[in-house]
Amino acid sequence: MANVKDFSVEEKLIAVLTLQKIDSKIDEIRTLKGELPMEVKDLEDEIEGLQTRVNNIDAEINTINEFVEGKTNAKKEAQALIKKYEKQQDNVKNNREFEAINKEMEMQELEVKLNEKHIKDASFELRDRTASRLKTEEKIKDVEESLAAKRAELEKISVETDKEEKALAEKSDAAKTKVDPRLLTAYERIRTSYRNGLAVVPIMRDSCGGCFNVIPPQRQSEIRQHKKIIVCEHCGRILVDVDMDSKVK
């Protein structure tokens, strides 16, 4: 292999552009995978939240049921008392005693009615809670379906891309050996300083393909000549012309 320092500017540019294309492909795969695990996690969290809601509703339903049980017992007790008073009234000795028992009975009748009202109100609440429980369960089913789909997608992508990513990483390493060391240092520095990982960009519509600032015609013509390495004066990215960009795959 020839020493990289013997290469022409054009060859150096092609080498670094080749490296960029390989690295961008790796970035693309990582981005694709990078979002899926997050989406899976979001759905898992959503299910957990919904499950907590179901548990809370269940606790509320329990409380209401216990309340109803208590009120039903109280009603029964009041009814039993009324029966007892009715019998007592049959054996009263005087009017005063009759009236006193009557008062007790009226109080217990009120107690029955009050308990019945509580039970009725509680039954509305129960119906309401049961409906929202059902709704939440349905929502969980929906989210679980989405989660299963996302998991399958991630699994599939991982199986497909793990191999591709490894192959690309090897290609990237090989491409690096062909890049002028100083240019490689600059490339890596620029690449890590931009989130999209672009260090080598083509001129697009008279602008830098990285920061979209306009590149003057004189500079564009210099770039086309491949006589020296030219960087964007705004973002520092290495610039290539569209022809070269489309030739390098």
Quick check: helix, strand or coil at residue 198? coil
Q: Minimum distance between the CB of residue 200 and Zn ion, rounded to whole angstroms?
A: 11
Dihedral over Cα of 218, 223, 229, 235: its sign = positive
Q: Where are the beta strands (DSSP E) in the chain?
A: 200-204, 207-208, 238-240
Q: Minimum distance between the CB of residue 4 and Zn ion, rounded to whole angstroms?
A: 26
Q: Minimum distance between the CB of residue 7 and Zn ion, rounded to whole angstroms?
A: 25
Q: Judged by CB, which is closer to Zn ion: 155, or 233? A: 233
Q: Judged by CB, which is closer to Zn ion: 235, or 248? A: 235
Contact 62, 133 (CB under 8 A): no
Q: Judged by CB, which is closer to Zn ion: 67, or 194? A: 194
Orientation angle between helical segments 181-193 and 9-90, nearest 10 degrees: 20
Q: Minimum distance between the CB of residue 30 and Zn ion, rounded to whole angstroms?
A: 23
Q: Judged by CB, which is closer to Zn ion: 92, or 231? A: 231
Q: Judged by CB, which is closer to Zn ion: 92, or 211? A: 211
- Chain residues binding Zn ion by CB under 5 A are 208, 210-211, 232, 234-235
β-bridge mates for residue 239, sequence order: 201
Give the contacts of 248 (CB within 8 A, at least 6 positions apart). Answer: 14, 17, 18, 21
Residue 116 one-letter amino acid: E
Q: Minimum distance between the CB of residue 129 and Zn ion, rounded to whole angstroms?
A: 60
Residue 5 one-letter amino acid: K
